[in-house]
Amino acid sequence: MTEKRITIRATRFDPEKDRSPRLQSYDIPFSDESMVVLDALNHIKAHVDGSLSYRWSCRMGICGSCGMMVNGTPKLTCNAFLRDYWPRSITVEPLTNFPIVRDLVIDMESFMHKLKSIKPWIIRKQDYPLGAGEHRQTMEQIDEFRQFSECINCMLCYAACPVYGLNNEFLGPAAIALARRYNLDSRDQGIKERLPVIADSEGIWECSFVGECSVVCPKGVDPAKAIQQTKLDTTMRFVLPYGNRDE
C-alpha cells in the first residue's frame, strides 16, 4: 500500500539574505490520521530542512505559540488536522498584519506593549490585607468575566482584524477583551484607571465590528462582544450620573 503524502508550502524569509518572503514547497509523508500541521512542520524541520523556523510549545492549544495562517485562515497549527485538507496542499504563512522576523515567526512586541498598557492586574483603592483571607466571590460573579479570561494570547484575532491590518496602532481584540475581564472582576476597582487607554481613539472606538476576531478565536473568548459591550458601558458611564464609579 503506497503511503499517503501531502504538500506543505511554507513561507521562508531570512532578513540577512531575502528581500521579501517566498514560499517553499515540501512533500512529506502523511503517516497518521491524527497528524496536525504542526506535526508536518516538525517533520520537515527534523528530517528535511532544519532551517525552517517557527514557534511552538504545548501542542495542545493552551500556550498560544503556534498561531499561523493555514490556507489563508489564522489557526493554531497544533489543532489544524492534515486530514481536513488532504489531498489538497497546505500553505502555511506567518500571521497576517504582523511584521515578519523570520520564516513563520512574527514580531509581537507591539502586542506585549498593548497588553501592559491596559493594566491587566487587580487594582484596588485600598490594599486588601493577606491576613483577611480571600475576597469573597461567587461562581456567578466569576461567570461574568470567565469567558474573557480564557484568552491564550495567540493573536489569531489580530491577524483576522482588517482594522488592525490598516492601522497597527489599534489596541486590538485581545487587549480590550482582557481589559473587560478585569473591569468585570468583582475584586477589581480599576475601571476608571483603564478608561484613558480603552476609550482612546486607538482603543474601542477604532473597532467597527467586523466580527472576524470572534470567528477565529480558538478559545471562544468572543472579543468582538467584549469590545461592543465596552463601547456601550463606556458611553453609559459618560452619560449617566453613576459614571464616576470605580467598579
Question: Could you say which residues in the range 194-213 bind another protein, by CB under 8 A?
Answer: 197, 200, 202-203, 208-212
Query: Which lies closer to another protein via its Cβ, residue 7 or residue 233?
Result: 233
Other Cβ atoms less than 10 A from the Cβ of 127: the count is: 6
Q: What are the φ and ψ backbone dihedral angles of 14, each rounded to 5 degrees?
A: -120, 110
214-233: contacts with another protein (CB under 8 A): 215, 222, 224-225, 228-229, 231-232
Other Cβ atoms less than 10 A from the Cβ of 99: the count is: 11
Q: Which of 162, 238, 240, 245 binds another protein (CB under 8 A)?
A: 162
Alpha helices in 57-152 (DSSP H): 109-117, 139-146
Tell me: does residue 191 bind another protein (CB under 8 A): no
Other Cβ atoms less than 10 A from the Cβ of 195: the count is: 16
Count, residues near another protein per rule CB under 8 A: 97
* Residue that the C-alpha cell 474573557 belongs to: 148
Query: Which lies closer to another protein via its Cβ, residue 6 or residue 69?
Result: 69
Other Cβ atoms less than 10 A from the Cβ of 165: the count is: 14
Tell me: does residue 147 bind another protein (CB under 8 A): no
18-37: contacts with another protein (CB under 8 A): 20-21, 32, 34
Quote the least distance from Cβ 44 to another protein, whole Å: 10
Q: What are the φ and ψ backbone dihedral angles of 203, each rounded to 5 degrees?
A: -95, -135
Quote the least distance from Cβ 187 to another protein, whole Å: 7
**Of the ranges 2-10, 64-72, 84-92, 238-246, which one interacts with another protein (CB under 8 A)?**
64-72
Other Cβ atoms less than 10 A from the Cβ of 69: the count is: 20
Other Cβ atoms less than 10 A from the Cβ of 138: the count is: 9
69-128: contacts with another protein (CB under 8 A): 72, 79, 96-103, 105, 107-110, 112-117, 119-122, 128
Quote the least distance from Cβ 57 to another protein, whole Å: 4
Q: Which DSSP symbol is given to 47?
A: I
